Amino acid sequence: MQPARDEALKVLTHDLVLAVRWYDIPQLESLRRFRALQSAHFARTAPAKSLVISVSNASGELHFDSGSRDLVLALVDDAKTHLLGMAQIVTGEGFGAASVRSVLSGIQLTARPDYPVKVFSDTQSARPWLEDLLRAASRPDLADAIGTTLLPQLEPGRNPAP
């Protein structure tokens, strides 16, 4: 597993899995950085299809940079033909978190990706879905690693980077 960390996000790669933990709601600069990381991951794992896991927290005051929605659409479009699936996990309670999950679901409907995608409220509810995708792709080894290795490292928390 290769972890990477910066001020905006923590990135884990494990075989075909690309996982990101956003420390705040993704904004333009962190979305651009993730787009470059995702592109490099797809190039490294091609022709195999990847699994992307994105975890963010929508607690507290929510602010979105202008253009964020368009960049998320571009990320979804970039992933076409490259993914086994994508789990978008938005933790948090209340109206703000529900709104973010609703917007992400709407973006997915608009983009019409050619891969399975689902929005979750926590990592534990995403786990069986992710494991099923990997087992269907004949990757039981990765299915086992999802719950034991990757998801625990993506749990909410503050940015430990200085």
Average pLDDT over all residues of the chain: 81
CATH class for the domain made up of 2-153: alpha beta
pLDDT band of 1, cuts 50, 70, 90: very low
Q: Where are the domains of the chain?
A: 2-153
How far apart CA 18 and CA 54 sit, in angstroms, is 8
pLDDT at 107 over 70: no
Q: What percent of the chain has pLDDT over 70?
A: 75
128: which 2 tokens? 């069986």
pLDDT of residue 70: 82
pLDDT, mean of residues 100-113? 68
pLDDT reading at 111 higher than 70: no
Find the range with the poorest average confidence among 24-28, 60-64, 118-122: 60-64
* Amino acid in the structure at residue 121: S
Proportion of the chain above pLDDT 90, given as a percent: 33
Q: Give 50-100 pLDDT, tens digit per residue.
A: 999 988 877 665 555 567 778 877 887 888 889 999 898 888 777 766 677
What mean pLDDT is predicted for residues 23-35?
A: 82
- Whether this prediction's pTM lies above 0.95 is answered by no
Contact 115, 84 (CB under 8 A): yes
pLDDT, greater one: 70 or 20:
20
Range with the poorest average pLDDT among 5-19, 37-51, 106-120: 106-120
pLDDT at 57: 78
Per DSSP, the three-state class of 49 is: coil
Q: From CA 114, how far away is CA 142, in angstroms rounded?
A: 22
Q: What angle do CA 139, 143, 145 make, to 5 degrees?
A: 115
